[in-house]
Amino acid sequence: MSKVLIIGAGGVGSVVTQKCAQVPEVFSDIMLASRTKSKCDAIAQRIGQNRIKTAQVDADNVQELMALIKSFQPDMVINVALPYQDLTIMEACLETGVHYLDTANYEPRDEAKFEYKWQWAYHDRFKEKGLTAILGCGFDPGVTSVYTAYAAKHHFDEIHYLDIVDCNAGDHGKPFATNFNPEINIREVTQNGRYWENGKWLETKPHEIKKALTYPNIGPRNSYVIYHEELESLVKNFPTLKRARFWMTFGDEYLTHLRVIQNIGMASIKPVMYKGVEIIPLEFLKHVLPNPGDLGENYTGETSIGCRIRGIKDGKELTYYIWNNCKHQDAYKETGTQAVSYTTGVPAMLGAMMLLQGYWKKPGVFNVEEFDPDPFMERIGNYGLPWEEAFNVDLEV
């Protein structure tokens, strides 16, 4: 029986809240708070029976957060607002003595830079207070990191090559839309590519490395090496890795739109003056693009995200592929959101359960691969994201 405070009422927040509500024996008391209270109320209404309390909070403001936490007194906070709010929410958790979990690493608003250093710097303070902070517990980062830990624990003596492969073979029927917060998504996919090889980071131009990879139940899709935040913690926690890369599929139409958005300056995060008001082009663009939370209704197709790993077992080379496929329509039927919100929200709920039940509880700040993967892997299928695995297959990468 635990109290949980969920912050952020977007697509992911909607899934986390609904999933927590489905497990009352663990999450007995739930509050959803966000910048816009009406969005929390709409989610609470969908769940019904007055199960969910709601509140308005500006998560950029530590004092406001502390006041809310003190009044509700949760055991932990699940942060599914935006990465900009990670540090203020961590700070408020420390001050009020509650555990913390998020799905995306902190980035400063004025620089598209994904690094764990700001959040890792909180390790000693969380440790001293006997509190746990779990970082990156969505699907990627999140499940992909747990898959890696599971593979390393059960199937390999050493893992050498890791390729995380993320395919969205869905069709939402819109000429252009992003699957999660447009501002965060466009910042992520327009930056230079980066991957780990032989002890150092190698940089590429955006989308420079391209390959058609075959995804289960989907077939071949053009996949591009991009930088993704879990690579930073995985190469640190699995030092035997000789190479670690992250691939994401993009359709030609998506890339064309992205190129135009960049060429006309709309992806810029530098403020410009417009009619006497300072605006940031990318923040403005978010307001005219479709809301990712609303894409679900007509979304067909599925996602397929997994890890392709090569390493050594008993002196012999082994290849291993572990993945989950998630259909947009199934996610929509259950939660009213598309599969990207769903595949992020389910692991966030399960990570919170792992913490509250004591499986993933140790003082300090940790990435998910630093915990025992087994209790998480045993349960995730039951909560909607079953996994499959194949041994000694052609990894293509």
Interface residue list for ligand NDP (CB under 6 A): 8-13, 34-36, 39, 57-60, 80-83, 85, 103-104, 138-142, 180-181, 184, 292-293, 340-341, 344
Closest approach of ligand NDP to the CB of residue 140, in Å: 5
**Cα separation values, 338 from 140, 169, 221, 321, 324, Å:** 16, 12, 20, 25, 15
Q: In the complex with ligand NDP, which residue's Cβ is closer, 81 or 350?
A: 81
If the CB atoms of residues 58 and 197 are measured against ligand NDP, the closer one turns out to be 58
For residue 157, the minimal CB distance to ligand NDP (Å) is 29
**φ and ψ at 274, to 5 degrees?**
-130, 115
- Please state the closest distance from residue 1 (CB atom) to ligand NDP, in A: 27
Placement of tokens 């999140």 in the chain: 142
Instruction: Indicate the angle between helix axes 281-288 and 182-190, nearest 10 degrees.
Output: 130
Smallest CA-to-CA distance from 57 within 49, 48, 43, 68 is with 68
The residue among 80 and 159 lying less far from ligand NDP, judged by its C-beta, is 80
**Minimum distance from residue 143 beta carbon to ligand NDP (Å):** 8
Q: State the Cα torsion 20-21-26-27 to the nearest 10°.
A: 80
Q: Where are the alpha helices (DSSP H) in 197-338?
A: 230-237, 252-263, 281-288, 328-335
Report the relative pairing of strands 243-249 and 158-168 from DSSP bridges.
parallel
Q: How far is the CB of 315 from ligand NDP (least distance, A)?
A: 36
Q: Which is nearer to ligand NDP, 84 or 359 (CB)?
A: 84
Alpha helices in 97-207 (DSSP H): 117-120, 123-128, 143-154, 182-190
Q: In terms of CB distance, is 40 or 318 closer to ligand NDP? A: 40
Closest approach of ligand NDP to the CB of residue 7, in Å: 6
Q: How many residues in the chain?
A: 397
- Give the Cα separation of 386 and 374 in Å (integer): 14
* Residue of closest CB approach to ligand NDP: 10
* Phi, psi values for residue 266, rounded to 5°: -80, -10
**CA 349 – CA 369 distance, rounded (Å):** 16
Beta carbon nearer to ligand NDP, 156 or 229? 229
In the complex, least distance from residue 57 CB atom to ligand NDP, rounded to whole angstroms: 6
Nearer to ligand NDP, 138 or 170 (CB): 138
